[in-house]
Amino acid sequence: MLAHEFPADLCGWLDFAELLARHGYVAFPYDSRGFGAARHPAKVSAEGSLDLDVPGAVAELKQHGVKKVFLAGASAGGVAVMVAAPSIEPPVEGVISLSGEQSLTSISPRLDALKTLPKLRSPFLVVGSVGDPLVDAAHARQLVRAAGSKEKCLALYPGPWHGWDLLAAAPYHGRVIARVLRFLREGSCA
């Protein structure tokens, strides 16, 4: 399940979703309410609801027979999956945050990853870059430390790359993709 950046839509995930499919995974990028194809004339709570759409996406996957679900989110989507994951039952197989911020409480008081991560029990991977202007190395380390997961890891790369650009535009994107695929395959930080 792939949660998008703000204020983007699922299109930013399409190349990576195709890559995941080639590796045998069911890739499910979706538009959060108020974005992309999920636009609503009444401007349904949009960015403040990013976390509320994650359980619905998981339910949709389960309804289609997917047994093992991993959550991945980029930037604001990373916050959404970190906040939503602890409340999903049964627990998801793992959570991946690509430059997910510690909190977006200016958008919604619910979007506080540091507050919810201690309840996370699923394996947890944080991917970021040391020069990211929104989520620097110190912030990424705090997220990993805050997680209640037994299995948690941090993959930091050089440069200022943020979110899904780590998978596509960064000069080392192949290494990032390999790291994410290994986490999906093994469900651990090994």
What's phi and psi for 5, nearest 5 deg? Answer: -75, 170
Contacts of 144 (CB under 8 A, 6+ apart): 124, 126, 152, 153, 154
Which CATH number, 3.30.70.20, 3.90.1570.10, 3.40.50.1220, 3.40.50.1820, labels domain 2-186? 3.40.50.1820
Place of tokens 């991946």: 96
What are the Cα distances from residue 186, in Å, to 83, 94, 173?
Answer: 23, 10, 20
Contacts of 23 (CB under 8 A, 6+ apart): 181
Domain parsing of the chain, residue ranges: 2-186
Contacts of 81 (CB under 8 A, 6+ apart): 1, 3, 54, 71, 72, 73, 95, 96, 97, 100
pLDDT digits (tens, 9 = 90+) for 52-100: 899 999 999 999 999 999 999 999 999 999 999 999 999 999 999 999 9
Note the pTM of the prediction, 2 decimals: 0.93
Q: What is the pLDDT of residue 1?
A: 95
Q: What is the pLDDT of residue 79?
A: 96
In terms of phi and psi (left: phi > 0; alpha: psi -120 to 50; beta: otherwise), the region of 140 is alpha
Contact 162, 77 (CB under 8 A): no
Whether 44 has a pLDDT exceeding 80, the answer reads no
pLDDT digits (tens, 9 = 90+) for 144-179: 999 999 999 999 999 999 999 999 999 999 999 999
